[in-house]
């Protein structure tokens, strides 16, 4: 988010981006000599070779490296690691401490692998192909590798109209365009999250889906890069990496010929399975940049309660800070004692509290600002190019310094600040953490020779625009209260790290990599510079914040929501999609955004700012967005200080839409919680595009306006502005209306739904599912956990079977003492429920609902005994049979229809 005075400069600068990006004629690059493979040593599970320049150097963006080292390792049955480095130079690689990589299975090798590595000696090229079918998945044939100090190039051929997904973060379509398309990876503060531009985070992984299978390619490189997809070169469709540093460090994933979710599980083996989050975090969150004082915050809490809308967690943006300084409260507008009163009120009502914490610390020598003084004493700030003085930027507090997450003392510093400021006894007892501006963002325009002057010009920190409230004003209708190890760093002395010879298409400003962020020549404690590590800053802050939260609440799961991410971030934290606009385009594109994060990059605790962050929403847009947002894993309403208020209770239509949406969401929370547990266990995606479930149906490959919430709930929101009509694609399967359980027979075509009012979203259950639902919604997740279950059986089209699962524990412990895992299986009129019931549910199974029942059965049995007729009801109009049970949910049971 930008200050108002800086926003116009940022928007103008974006218009100038094209002048900075490098165009390289593909024919010139393909004419480079490449390399010859020599001294090949093939040990089966591992292959090594020297790669020697095969002719006259191209030197397109620097001098070609004359000799490289190739290392190919079969790491598992489904993963091949291909690494190309310069053996004579200590080049930067993504540190193991930031992204721990898996070890190779010593028994892996080509004889047991589902994919294989093949190569040509001269000129050197390589390919990856399926062992069973010999289908080529990746091939550098006719595209020589280029390896220079600040430019690496690898190019592969693709099928025509290739289905490529990933390469985020972006706001483009979920299936990426293949026509003259460039995907740039370089973290930046991307106000408005525009199309076609680099945004906050970087995930250099793509999945390619074909009717013959799905595979993945991950480049473990954190340097800036352009990845180009093109079909205009006369050689078919290609994908090309153009990287400005580091090494070529590829992981090739076999995926599966039948199950697309398998490639996601294999990618999780590299970057880590997603984190489990607290049960309460699936409730509704409310925030705003622009709450003027503590009274505003208290009134929002009260108004949600009065409207009967479940509010689980209240958030506060940077408004609460004293002069925008982290780890402070404004004594006049957000006095500590009144804020503690708000937190106590929330906790006494089974609600939660979260605050914003930015990385930039106010540069305040001699001002007795503890966080700055303690960081200076510990010497943990990111350094300027001289390696001694702190690097200075200009952010919300004015001139700032930045923590160096590579410094081994920074974690202790950060943990101490969290324990002190967020102390339950003397500070603000937060339940989760929110971190922003961690690209890292700076408002200082390049070249930022005088951050003090730029801070003055931009009026940082901004002045308050309203008078302070009465410090003793009553709230909630109550009377006021009484008063790391250092490694050898790569040598960049001969490199131009401010303006590298190959200029990636960085859209922040006119192209300089250092614009509005930490300079690329800023130095870390271990000697690494931001040129190499820039894209890691947000994820490293995320990890430090995760650890700080663990230290202040040992043994408890954390909720940390970040803006900037790199591969592997989801193993610790969640994310929101950034500073979107209150318009229908951003509403729609959020679907592709959450699918990318949750379905590809393994950051499943994700959501967009509901109703939009910037500009003014409308009643109908906010109503539609409340409905869609109920199916984001992370559900938060949040907007900017320059926008109108948009809490769900502001308009009657939006209020009803929110209530309807939250009723469905809360009944499904245990289903979602189970999906998160599965993701933590093996990397199975929490959200899925339709083609994950229907991989042979080519009509699904480009759909990103519908998605599967968990494995079995199809969400099909109305997309068009102020419309009540939506085209819903139903693959060849049974689907069931979530509310009525009426069956819909999918035939592989779209169905137009009309009269979808602004308080309704089409939600259906995919055939073949058994869903454990809470029988009713509640105002808090604490009350929800005391509510009975009902079980919905939705048979599949093919054989009438269905299955599902449920996982329960205490909802907060990292390692729960007990848990309950239940499986549901339905076949030929028999539902079998069995599992281990170590965690006491404390509730009943109120009923079982059988969808697609043709007629009332002759009899119904529960554990072999007849169920009385008054407990059996048949809805012939919708084909639903309800069997009332009312039994404690603590043991196995069987329900049979005859």
Residues carrying an active site annotation: 436, 439, 579
Cα separation values, 58 from 225, 500, 714, Å = 20, 17, 52
C-alpha closest to that of 596 among 264, 196, 137, 241: 264
Q: Which residues of the chain have pLDDT under 70?
A: 2-21, 479-488, 508-511
Beta-carbon count within 10 A of 87 CB: 11
Q: Where in the chain is the domain with CATH 3.20.20.80?
A: 359-422+438-463+502-562
| pLDDT at residue number 9 | 41
| pLDDT at residue number 39 | 98
Question: 572: Cβ–Cβ under 8 A, 6 or more apart, which residues?
Answer: 275, 542, 543, 546, 558, 560
C-alpha closest to that of 410 among 437, 448, 371: 371
DSSP, res 327: T
Q: Where in the chain is the domain with CATH 2.60.40.1760?
A: 26-258
Specify whether the CB–CB gap between 137 and 115 falls below 8 A. Answer: yes
What's the token pair of residue 543? 């990890």
Specify whether the CB–CB gap between 173 and 592 falls below 8 A. Answer: yes
Beta-carbon count within 10 A of 821 CB: 17
Beta-carbon count within 10 A of 814 CB: 12
C-alpha closest to that of 177 among 194, 156, 163: 163
Q: Is 489 exposed, middle or buried (0-12, 13-18, 19+ CB in 10 A)?
A: middle
Q: Give me the CATH topology for the region 671-897.
A: Immunoglobulin-like (2.60.40)
Q: In sequence order, what DSSP letters do the residues of 766-784 get, joined into one string?
A: ETTEEEEEESS--SSHHHH
Specify whether the CB–CB gap between 252 and 115 falls below 8 A. Answer: yes
Contacts 24+ apart (CB under 8 A), 254-257: 254/77, 254/78, 254/79, 254/113, 254/114, 254/115, 254/130, 254/215, 255/78, 255/207, 255/213, 255/214, 255/215, 255/216, 256/213, 256/214, 257/130, 257/132, 257/133, 257/212, 257/213
Which helix (H) or strand (E) element contains residue 72? strand 67-76
Convert the pLDDT of each residue in 232-272 to its tens digit: 887 789 999 999 999 999 999 999 999 999 999 999 999 99
Q: Is the domain covering 26-258 a CATH 2.60.40.1760 domain?
A: yes
Beta-carbon count within 10 A of 435 CB: 22
How far apart (Å, rounded) are the C-alpha atoms in residues 349 and 304? Answer: 13
Q: Give me the CATH topology for the region 359-422+438-463+502-562.
A: TIM Barrel (3.20.20)
How far apart (Å, rounded) are the C-alpha atoms in residues 756 and 726? Answer: 8
What's the token pair of residue 768? 């073949």
CA angle 79/84/89 to nearest 5° reads 140
Q: Where in the chain is the domain with CATH 2.60.40.1180?
A: 671-897
Structure-token match 């690097």, residue found: 391
What's the token pair of residue 378? 């510990």
3-state helix, strand, coil in the chain (%, to 5): 20, 30, 50
C-alpha closest to that of 878 among 849, 848, 847, 845: 849
Q: Is the dihedral of CA 869, 870, 873, 874 positive or negative?
A: positive
Specify whether the CB–CB gap between 108 and 78 falls below 8 A. Answer: no
What's the token pair of residue 60? 């397109």
Torsion of CA 614, 615, 618, 622, to 10 degrees: 0
First to last CA, the chain: 62
Convert the pLDDT of each residue in 598-645 to its tens digit: 999 999 999 999 999 999 999 999 999 999 999 999 999 999 999 999
How far apart (Å, rounded) are the C-alpha atoms in residues 437 and 444? Answer: 13
Specify whether the CB–CB gap between 577 and 605 falls below 8 A. Answer: no
Sheet of 115-120: strand order equals 115-120, 125-130, 136-139
Convert the pLDDT of each residue in 325-344 to its tens digit: 999 999 999 999 999 999 99
CA angle 803/807/808 to nearest 5° reads 145
How far apart (Å, rounded) are the C-alpha atoms in residues 860 and 893? Answer: 13
Cα separation values, 686 from 164, 273, 546, Å = 20, 11, 21
| pLDDT at residue number 479 | 58
| pLDDT at residue number 14 | 41
How far apart (Å, rounded) are the C-alpha atoms in residues 638 and 285? Answer: 9
| pLDDT at residue number 15 | 39
Q: In sequence order, what DSSP letters do the residues of 584-648 get, joined into one string?
A: HHHHHHHHHHHHHHHHTSS--SEE-EET-SBS---HHHHHHHHHHHTTSSS-EE---TTS----G
What's the token pair of residue 692? 């994950």
Q: Is 278 left (phi over 0), alpha (psi -120 to 50) or beta?
A: beta
């Amino acid at each position: 988010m930008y200050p108002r005075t800086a926003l116009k400069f940022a928007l103008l600068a974006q218009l100038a981006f094209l002048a900075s990006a490098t165009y390289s004629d593909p024919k010139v690059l393909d004419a480079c000599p490449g390399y010859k493979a020599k001294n090949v040593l093939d040990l089966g599970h591992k292959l090594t070779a020297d790669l020697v320049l095969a002719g006259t150097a191209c030197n397109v963006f620097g001098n070609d490296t004359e000799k490289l080292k190739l290392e190919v390792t079969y790491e598992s049955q489904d993963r091949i690691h291909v690494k190309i480095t310069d053996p004579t130079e200590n080049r930067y690689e993504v540190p193991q401490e930031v992204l721990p990589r898996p070890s190779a299975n010593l028994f892996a090798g080509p004889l047991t692998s589902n994919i294989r590595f093949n190569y040509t000696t001269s000129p050197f090229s390589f390919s990856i192909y399926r062992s069973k079918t010999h289908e080529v998945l990746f091939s550098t044939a006719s595209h020589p590798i280029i390896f220079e100090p600040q430019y690496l190039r690898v190019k592969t051929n693709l099928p025509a109209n290739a289905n490529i997904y990933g390469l985020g973060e972006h706001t483009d379509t979920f299936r990426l365009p293949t026509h003259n398309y460039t995907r740039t990876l370089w973290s930046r503060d991307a106000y408005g999250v525009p199309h076609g531009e680099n945004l906050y985070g970087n995930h250099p992984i793509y999945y390619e889906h074909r009717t013959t299978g799905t595979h993945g390619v991950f480049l473990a490189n954190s340097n800036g890069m352009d990845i180009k997809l093109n079909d205009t070169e006369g050689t078919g469709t290609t994908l090309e990496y153009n990287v400005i540093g580091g090494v070529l460090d590829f992981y090739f994933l076999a995926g599966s010929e039948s199950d697309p979710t398998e490639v996601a599980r294999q990618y999780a083996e590299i970057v880590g399975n997603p984190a489990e989050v607290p049960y309460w975090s699936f409730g509704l969150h409310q925030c705003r940049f622009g709450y003027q004082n503590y009274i505003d915050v208290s009134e929002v809490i009260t108004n949600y309660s009065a409207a009967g809308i479940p509010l689980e967690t209240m958030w506060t943006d940077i408004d609460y800070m004293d002069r925008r300084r982290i780890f402070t409260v404004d004594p006049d507008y957000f006095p500590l004692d009144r804020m503690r009163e708000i937190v106590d009120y929330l906790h006494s009502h089974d609600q939660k509290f979260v605050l914003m914490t930015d990385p930039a610390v106010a540069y305040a020598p001699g001002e007795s600002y503890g966080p700055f003084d303690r960081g200076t004493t510990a010497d943990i700030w990111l350094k300027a190019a001289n390696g001694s003085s702190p690097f200075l930027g200009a952010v919300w507090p004015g001139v700032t310094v930045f923590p160096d997450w590579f410094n081994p003392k920074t974690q202790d510093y950060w943990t101490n600040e969290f324990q002190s400021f967020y102390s339950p006894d003397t500070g603000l007892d937060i339940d989760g953490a929110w971190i922003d501006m961690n690209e890292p963002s700076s408002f200082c325009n390049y070249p930022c020779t005088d951050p003090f002057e730029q801070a003055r010009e931009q009026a940082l920190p901004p002045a308050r625009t309203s008078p302070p409230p009465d410090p003793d004003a009553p709230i909630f209708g109550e009377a006021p209260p009484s008063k790391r190890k250092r490694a050898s760093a790569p040598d960049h002395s001969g490199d131009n790290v401010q303006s590298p010879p190959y200029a990636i298409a960085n859209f922040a400003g006119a192209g300089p990599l250092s614009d509005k962020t930490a300079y690329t020549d800023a130095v870390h404690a271990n000697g690494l510079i931001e040129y190499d590590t820039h894209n890691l800053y947000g994820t490293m802050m995320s990890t430090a914040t995760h650890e700080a939260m663990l230290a202040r609440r040992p043994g408890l799961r954390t909720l940390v929501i970040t803006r900037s991410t790199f591969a592997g971030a989801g193993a610790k934290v969640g994310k929101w999609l950034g500073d979107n606009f209150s318009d229908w385009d951003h509403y729609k594109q959020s679907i592709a955004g959450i699918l990318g994060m949750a379905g590809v990059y393994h950051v499943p605790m994700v959501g967009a700012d509901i109703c939009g962050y910037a500009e003014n929403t409308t009643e109908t847009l906010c109503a539609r967005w409340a409905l869609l947002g109920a199916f984001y894993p992370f559900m938060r309403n949040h907007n900017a200080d320059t926008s109108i208020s948009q809490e769900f209770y502001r308009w009657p239509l939006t209020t009803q839409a929110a209530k309807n949406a939250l009723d469905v969401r809360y009944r499904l929370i245990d289903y979602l919680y189970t999906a998160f547990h599965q993701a933590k266990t093996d990397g199975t995606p929490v959200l899925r595009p339709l083609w994950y479930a229907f991989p042979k149906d080519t009509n699904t490959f480009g759909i990103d306006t519908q998605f599967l919430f968990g494995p079995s709930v199809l969400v099909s929101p109305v997309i068009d502005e102020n419309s009540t009509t939506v085209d819903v694609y139903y693959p060849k399967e049974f689907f069931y209306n979530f509310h009525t359980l009426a069956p819909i027979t999918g035939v592989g075509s779209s169905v137009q739904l009309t009269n979808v009012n602004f308080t309704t979203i089409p939600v259906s259950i995919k055939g073949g599912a058994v869903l454990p639902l809470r029988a009713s919604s509640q105002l808090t997740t604490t009350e929800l956990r005391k509510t009975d279950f009902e079980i919905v059986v939705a048979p599949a089209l093919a054989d009438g079977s269905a299955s599902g699962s449920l996982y329960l524990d205490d909802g907060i412990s990292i390692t729960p003492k007990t848990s309950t895992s239940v499986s549901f299986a339905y076949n030929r009129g028999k539902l079998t429920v069995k599992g281990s019931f170590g965690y006491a549910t404390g509730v009943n199974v109120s009923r079982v609902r059988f969808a697609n029942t043709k007629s009332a059965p002759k009899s119904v049995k529960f554990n072999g005994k007849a169920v009385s007729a008054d407990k059996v009801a048949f809805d012939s109009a919708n084909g639903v049979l309800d069997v009332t049970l009312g039994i404690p949910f603590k043991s196995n049971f069987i329900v049979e229809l005859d």
